Every structure is written in structure tokens, then in C-alpha cells.
Structure 1
Amino acid sequence: MAMMSFSTTCLLQQPNRYLVAMCVRHRSQRRNLGLPPNVAKTLQTRLEELNFKDPSIHYKVDIGLPPTLRDKKKENASRIEYLKKIKSNPELEKLARNNQLPVSLEDITNEWSKTNAPLHIKKVAEHYGVFEHLFGDAYFMPYIQLDITYEHNSTKVPVYRGNIIKPTEATSAPNVKFESLADSLWTLALTNPDGHLQKENSEYIHWLVGNIPDGDVSKGETVFSYLQPFPAKGTGYQRMIFVLYQQTSKIDFTQLKKSPSDEIDLDERTFSTFDFYRSKQDSITPAGLGFYQTDWDTSITAFYQDKLQTAEPIYEYDFPSPYVKPQTWFPIKQPFNLYMDKYRDEKQIAKEFLLKKLKNRHPFQKPETSLKYPNAVPFKKYTPSWLKLEIKKERSKWGRVNDY
């Protein structure tokens, strides 16, 4: 004879008056779902297994300039000598004690740009996903420091690494400066990997200047004229990325150039930094990096209408409709008025509230004064509980009573 389950044996052995109690006790027993916490895998372990990438296939490749040779012993010796000279100066010590010692930010910036700036900029760019979205599994150390500044209403708006600049502040091309060797050629590109309106994983090229001699951007060959950022409403922040390439020789950009026209064609400005670098990787090497973030403002509406001559797109999140449980024959412990409202038409409910409110309004008389203590006023005799709740909400002006 096969073995009986625990519930079956209990039902056979116990009297009838205990059948319900045993069934309830058996059904209410807790069962552990899955392994205990000390044995099961953690969330971090499971995510690492799901997102695992083979290191023999997925690995980072440095496509930038070779590192500059630095004599760290000489740098440390000069730094120690400089500190000794400062500490031995009683006047500087007195100013520092009184919090009056002047600090040259320009000297600190120059020192930082020559030492740790490339590593810090690389880490910030990795945090914002710049290398991943432009070059895939490649990266580079930005050894060339870019000094990028917009001019807006006689004020200078600098570009750092991820700071926010509004479209109204970036309507015209910025001033770009960088240190360059003699008889060198450069290419400067400004791209937006987040703002394409039609294609996924595509960019808009906002500015491309090639064959820049000796770091003078104004003397370079303009492949794509400057186009201000135009983030669509509802898309959030978008990245505007400057990439500076060092050329080994002069490059022919005739294939990228389009016919000059007053109108802006966004299809012609569809761009891919990955494909651009791959097609010219024998002639260019990434050397400098700078980027900022921008989002929608009121000037974008006029830009779409006047410059792009198209309607402004507006993106909104489409929230899913709330889940409503299917109706049952006997909804136990459910207030029938609230329960039935879940399955009624929202417009019909709103209409009833509006008619009820208009019924108590007179066009030529003042509205009735509200009760000072609404919850202290007694209800009529034999008023059902659900109706008491509705009256209490109306007196206290809770819920949908205030919609109209």
C-alpha cells in the first residue's frame, strides 16, 4: 500500500469536528521558498553571473597617445624643495595662521594638468559612459587639455567635465584652445550621442573641424558648421562631447562634406564616432576630451520652428493603466460603494460629482458656510455606514469633492 500524505492520515484518524481545524492548520503551515539566506546566492553574485563577459573577448583597448615620460624622482625632489622653502618663510606662515594666505588657482590648475589631470578626466568620462557609447571597448588618456569657453551675454561659460550648460548659452561656436606642437595637425569633433530623434545608437554631429594647424581652430577646415544643442522636451539631460584627434598627415574630408545650404538637414548630420575613427584610425589618434550636459529650455521651441522648420517633439512617459482585479460574486469585507467604483466609468463618476456640486450651488446666492466642526454634527438615524463615510468625506472636503 502506498504511503499516505500527512493531511490524508490526519483526516482519517480525527473525528469529524476536527476536520476543519486540521485542514486550516495544515494550510496555514509556512513553507520556505528557495534556499536560506546563508546558502543562496546574493543579488550581486547573480547579477555578475547574468552580466558576465568573457575577458578574452571583451577587454579595453587603449587607442590614445603613448604616455609621456615623467621623472617622478625629480618631481618629488622639486616638490619637497618647494615645500621647505615655503615653510621656512615666516611671512607666509603668519598669513596662513591668520587665514590670509593667497592661493593661485591658475598655478594649481597648471600643476594638475601636468600630473594627474589625464587620469582624473578618464575616470570621470568612464563614469558618464563616454568611451563606452563612442568607442565601444576602447578608451584613451586625454593628455591634451582642452580650454573650451562659450560666450553668452558678455559672460564666459566654461566647459569642464559634465557641468550643465543651457542651450541658450551655447548658441554660437565656443572658443577652443589647447597646447600644440609646431607643424602639427588636429581634428576637433562635437557630437551628441543622446539626442537622435529617429535612430537608436546614433549621434548628431554638431561641429567638425579638420586639418587644424598648430592648434588654431579658426584656421581649420570646417566639415560641419556649428549647430547648437537642441534637446527635445522630456528627454532629460544629454551629453555634448568634444573629442580632439591628433593627425599624422592631412586628411581629405570631401566625402563627409555636404552641399552648403541655409537649411539644417538632420539626416546629413547623423554620425557615428566609432565608424569615423575606424575609417581614419591610421591618420588620427584621440588626444583630448571635454564634455558638458544640456537639457530643454524655452528657446528650443523657436529653434525647431525657425531653424529646423518642423514641429517641436515632446516626449512623455506613457504610464500603464492601473491593475483592477476581476470582479467576484461575493466580495467579502469590501465596501460595496468603493468596490463598485473600481469597475465604473471614470467619466460617469466625475459627472455625478459635478452634478451633485452644482445642485447645491445657487447662481445668485452666496454658498453655504462650511461647518466649523464637521465631525461633531450627528448623522440621521439609520444612515448606513458607507453613506456616513461619504458624508464625512464631503464635510471634511476629502478626495474627489475638491476636483470641481
Structure 2
Amino acid sequence: MSDDTICFSDHKIVPDVLQSCPYKMLKVTYSGGQRVDMGRELTPTQVKQQPTVEWEADPNTLYTLILTDPDAPSRKDPKYREWHHWLVVNIPGNNIEEGQVLTAYVGAGPPEGTGLHRYVFLVFKQNQQLNCNEPRIPKTSGDKRSNFSTAKFITKYKLGNPIAGNFFQAQWDDYVPQLYKQLSGKK
């Protein structure tokens, strides 16, 4: 564990999402050069487009990527913990576009007045190709995103500890109503 990943404990991602910290830092960059940096605050407007995610990957190995918010609807009342924002399995090396998308990416959408939410990126090395029976969730749907459990998913598919991770924090801004409209399937 590096000094960078100790931040996962400081921000209570361990134990709220994981039992142990990732080994390495995940490089996550949004359009405009906005970088995710271990808890730095970004706005929903800054993170609305799918980011570039990079890690030290073996091109002959498959990986799983998860982005989850353990603070839904708020950190004080996380009754929907976790609300997952992105889930891709069977990623060959670093090629996310070639992976199997189970849950399409949507950016941060913390409800107004709920304070900072943690948005946690995790990558796991797979031992084999996964055959997942999880629902496929498009970017136009909020259905089946709440009450996701990273811990249960890890156990179910025998993923072990994350090899890399990173996270940012965000609170409501005026982009959030547009995201809610997108998730309701309305134009």
C-alpha cells in the first residue's frame, strides 16, 4: 500500500466500500485535463463525460472497473449505499472500450443540500473471463444502480483486492438536474 492509497482509510472508503486499500493509484482524467486526485473536489459539470482511466496493465490479462458512490443519498443517511456509476468487466489490458459494459457511465449527481459525496474508482485483476448475470444498465437509466455492493460483487466473482484505485468528491451543481432528466429517459 502506498502513502497515496492510505487516503482511502482517511476518507473511510475503507470500510464503507472496501476491506483494504488498493495497492496503486489509478490515473483518471476528465475532459479539459481535470484529474482525479485522491479526494480532490470536482463538480458534476466537470465529470459529466466518461473519463480516461489508466493503470499498469498486462495486455494479456482481463480487468474489472467499478465507479461507485457510497454516499447515496447523503453521507449522513446512506440508505441507497452504494449507487454505482460505471461497471465494466473483461477489459483486456487497459482497453476499457473493448470490455463488457454492464453499467454505462454516468457522472456525479449528488442531490442538492446533501454535501460532499465520494466517487470511488476501483480496478480488479480477473483470474479468468467473467460471465456476469448482472442487469445491463444504459446511461439513460437510474434503475438498478442503487444498493449495489462492491464487496458482494468482489466476492461473487472472486476478484480479490483492488489493484488500483482513486476517488474524487463532489456536491450538487446546476448540471445535476440535467443528469436526473437523462436518467429518467426523458429528452
Give the TM-score normalised by the residue count of structure 2. 0.88
Deviation at 1:182, TM superposition (A): 3.6
Larger Rg: 1
Please give the alpha-carbon distance, in whole angstroms, between the structure 2 residues aligned to 1:212 and 1:308. Answer: 25
Asked if residue 150 in structure 1 is aligned to residue 30 in structure 2, the reply is yes
Aligned match of 1:252 = 131
Please give the alpha-carbon distance, in whole angstroms, between the structure 2 residues aligned to 1:216 and 1:309. Answer: 29
CA 301–149 in structure 1, closer or farther in 2 if over 3 Å, else same: same
Work out the number of aligned pairs and report it: 182
Contact 2:70 2:78 in 1 (8 A): no
Give the TM-score normalised by the residue count of structure 1. 0.42
CA 288–295 in structure 1, closer or farther in 2 if over 3 Å, else same: same
Deviation at 1:141, TM superposition (A): 4.1
The percent identity for this pair of structures is 25
* 3-state SS, counterpart of residue 139 of structure 1: coil
Asked if residue 308 in structure 1 is aligned to residue 187 in structure 2, the reply is no
Please give the alpha-carbon distance, in whole angstroms, between the structure 1 residues aligned to 2:138 and 2:58. Answer: 35
Please give the alpha-carbon distance, in whole angstroms, between the structure 2 residues aligned to 1:169 and 1:142. Answer: 27
Q: Could you tell me which of 212, 224, 234 is aligned with 2:113?
A: 234
What stretches of structure 1 of length at least 5 have no aligned partner? 1-117, 311-404
Please give the alpha-carbon distance, in whole angstroms, between the structure 2 residues aligned to 1:303 and 1:207. Answer: 14
Contact 1:148 1:177 in 2 (8 A): yes
Greater relative contact order (CA < 8 Å, ≥ 6 in sequence):
2
Q: Could you tell me which of 209, 216, 222 is aligned with 2:101?
A: 222
CA 277–171 in structure 1, closer or farther in 2 if over 3 Å, else same: same
Q: Within 5 Å, which residues of 2 pair with 1:2-13?
A: none
Deviation at 1:192, TM superposition (A): 0.3
Bigger share in helix = 1
Please give the alpha-carbon distance, in whole angstroms, between the structure 2 residues aligned to 1:205 and 1:199. Answer: 13
Asked if residue 288 in structure 1 is aligned to residue 164 in structure 2, the reply is yes
Q: Within 5 Å, which residues of 2 pair with 1:40-189?
A: 118-135=1-18, 138-143=19-24, 145-151=25-31, 155-189=32-66
CA 279–307 in structure 1, closer or farther in 2 if over 3 Å, else same: same
Deviation at 1:216, TM superposition (A): 1.5
* 3-state SS, counterpart of residue 91 of structure 2: strand
Q: Give the AA of the match of 1:140.
A: C
Asked if residue 298 in structure 1 is aligned to residue 174 in structure 2, the reply is yes
CA 301–291 in structure 1, closer or farther in 2 if over 3 Å, else same: same
